[in-house]
Each structure stands twice: as C-alpha cells, then as structure tokens.
Amino acid sequence: MDVTPGAAQMEHLKRLMLSRPYLERIPDQSLIAGGNGARCDYLAATRGVSHAFVYAYSGRPFEVRLGTITGKTVRAWWFDPRTGSSRDIGTFPNRGSRRFTPPGSPAPGNDWALVLDDPAADFAGTAR
C-alpha cells in the first residue's frame, strides 16, 4: 500500500510535536499579532513553557507576539512538514512582535511551521 503525501507529512509533524514537552503545550491563538486569516490563510498556534509553534498552511507572512515563552531571546526556525527538513531563521529578543515570512510564495499547500525555542531549553538537534 502506498503512503499518500499527506500521511507522510503527518509523520514529520508528529516528530516535531513530540520533540518538545507535549503535556505542557496548550493552544494559544494570542501568539498571532494582527489578523489571523480564514480558511487556507488561518494560522494555528500552540506553545509550551519554552517553545512555540505556528502552523501556516498557505505560507503567507504573519506577525507573532513574542514574550510568551521563557528566555530573553528566542531561536526561530522553519520546519517543512512536506520533507521534515528545517531552516534556521536566527535569534531575536523575546519581546514585542516580529513578522515572519515563510520560504516560497504564498499558496495553498506551501505549508510551514514556525518554531520558536528558548535557547536555554537546549532543544538543539531535535526534530531538525
């Protein structure tokens, strides 16, 4: 039986989700600063104590409210659920808000997960 592309993507996303403390994570749409979007442009946000995820199905730019996880800085990176690969964005002060632009052009199916980590949590090497 062949695995459909969507099923393979779920395996990559599962690996990402389980790479951070699972039981402390809560949905938190307040991470999204400004408009969230509807249908394909809707953003799904969740966070734990020292990490946060924002999933964007259409790959459109969006703004995140920082300061909701621990740390004076956050390490940001993109997770590609289609391949399980990642791209480093950088380290930023953990305050205010910041605009993030996923790789590629906005379009349905250009989905990316933004990952924000407290560098002191030392998640290096997990799901990356």
CATH number of the domain to which 79 belongs? 2.60.40
Q: What is the pTM of this model?
A: 0.89
Residue 42 lies in a domain: yes
**Structural domain containing residue 24:** 5-121
pLDDT at 113 (0 to 100): 95
Helices (runs of H) and strands (runs of E) counted in the chain: 1, 9
Residue 25 lies in a domain: yes
Return averaged pLDDT per consecutive 10 residues of the chain, 128 residues in all.
65 87 91 79 93 93 96 96 93 97 90 95 65
Residue 65 lies in a domain: yes
